[in-house]
């Protein structure tokens, strides 16, 4: 069923572009403007693609943007869908399955995240080295199509050590400070309570988000190499006197977009396209 849907989605995309980039990027809350910097763009509204779930959240435009950056052809997803919008994880990860069908082999996942590590501050960029799935759900539950991926994918290295090293070396050369840490994914849409944040810190998490981990699971399923970067847009509940809001998330993402763009462009320029 999934394979048939993907083929129908791909057939529609092929009426708009024949591009088959090997590098993909999913742009999280407030980070969508990066896609506007691509050259020679073909933009497809995801709402027009058969079987593709619609994005309903502010800051998630819902566009596939094919284009060029740093001498490489890439596919940027400008806006994702989330479980809290009412979608099952099988639909949340449809974008990743489709990217695999298009030919993406290296995937950069980004998000806005709340800092749980006491040494983090808003505006930091964090390399994701591992994750804890606190959604208590998995996008691969259900009948498996062995033509798409294995029934039991290995998750010992969901984030490519090779790409982490590349990102660290690139950031060092650019003079951009990168934090490193473990990401926790929760369903939302409520922000976590202070007690939940204390629990997550005890479990060893450094930042929390409401996305990304299901997409990474789907990417690993397709044998993609994954690089994950979180923009720390706020301190988690109980770590400051501020009440949390989505406006704060998008405001901080706006402030770091220049640093984020420079880093991502440089990383893509050094990426292997195989």
51 given a catalytic annotation? no
119 given a catalytic annotation? no
248 given a catalytic annotation? no
- Which tokens go with 13? 């995309």
Which residue is catalytic, options 234, 236, 266, 271?
234
Which residue is catalytic, options 29, 73, 106, 230?
29
Which residue is catalytic, options 19, 37, 70, 85?
85
Which residue is catalytic, options 211, 218, 224, 266?
211
- Count the Cβ atoms, other than its own, within 10 Å of residue 118: 10
Residue 73 to residues 15, 18, 40, 218, 271: CA-CA distances in angstroms?
18, 12, 10, 22, 11
85 given a catalytic annotation? yes
Q: Residue 231: which of 145, 109, 134 has the closest Cα?
A: 109
246 given a catalytic annotation? yes
- Count the Cβ atoms, other than its own, within 10 Å of residue 222: 17
70 given a catalytic annotation? no
Q: For 85, list phi and psi in degrees, rounded to 5.
A: -80, -5
156 given a catalytic annotation? no
Is residue 148 within 8 Å of residue 221, measured between CB atoms?
yes
Which residue is catalytic, options 35, 61, 99, 112?
112
82 given a catalytic annotation? yes
60 given a catalytic annotation? yes
Which residue is catalytic, options 52, 55, 60, 236?
60
Which residue is catalytic, options 9, 52, 73, 82?
82
Which residue is catalytic, options 133, 246, 254, 261?
246
Residue 201 to residues 56, 115, 184, 229, 236: CA-CA distances in angstroms?
31, 10, 10, 19, 11
Which residue is catalytic, options 19, 68, 84, 199?
84
168 given a catalytic annotation? no
Q: Which residues are catalytic?
A: 29, 60, 82, 84-85, 112, 210-211, 234, 246
């Amino acid at each position: 069923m999934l394979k048939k849907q993907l083929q129908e989605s791909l057939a529609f995309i092929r009426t708009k572009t024949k591009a088959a980039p090997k590098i993909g990027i999913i742009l999280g809350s407030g980070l969508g403007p990066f896609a506007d910097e691509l050259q020679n763009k073909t933009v497809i509204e995801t709402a027009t693609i058969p079987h593709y779930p619609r994005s309903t959240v502010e800051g998630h435009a819902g566009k596939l943007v094919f284009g060029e950056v740093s001498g490489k052809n890439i596919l940027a997803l400008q806006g994702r869908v989330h479980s809290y919008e009412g979608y099952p994880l099988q639909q949340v990860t449809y974008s990743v399955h489709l990217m695999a069908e298009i030919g993406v082999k290296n995937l950069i996942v980004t998000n806005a995240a709340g800092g749980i590590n006491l040494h983090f501050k808003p505006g930091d960029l964090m390399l994701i080295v591992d994750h804890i799935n606190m959604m208590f759900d998995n996008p691969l539950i259900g009948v498996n199509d062995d033509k798409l991926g294995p029934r039991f994918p290995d998750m010992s290295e969901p984030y490519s050590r090779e790409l982490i090293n590349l990102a660290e070396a690139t950031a060092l050369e650019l003079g951009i400070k990168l934090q490193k840490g473990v990401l926790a994914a929760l369903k939302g849409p409520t922000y976590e309570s202070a007690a939940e944040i204390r629990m997550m810190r005890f479990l060893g998490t450094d930042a929390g988000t409401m996305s990304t981990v299901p997409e990474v699971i789907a990417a690993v399923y397709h044998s993609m190499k994954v690089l994950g970067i979180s923009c720390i847009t706020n301190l988690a509940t109980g770590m400051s006197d501020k009440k949390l809001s989505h406006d704060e998330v998008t405001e901080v993402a706006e402030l770091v977009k220049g640093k984020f763009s420079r880093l991502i462009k440089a990383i893509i320029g050094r990426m292997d396209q195989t």
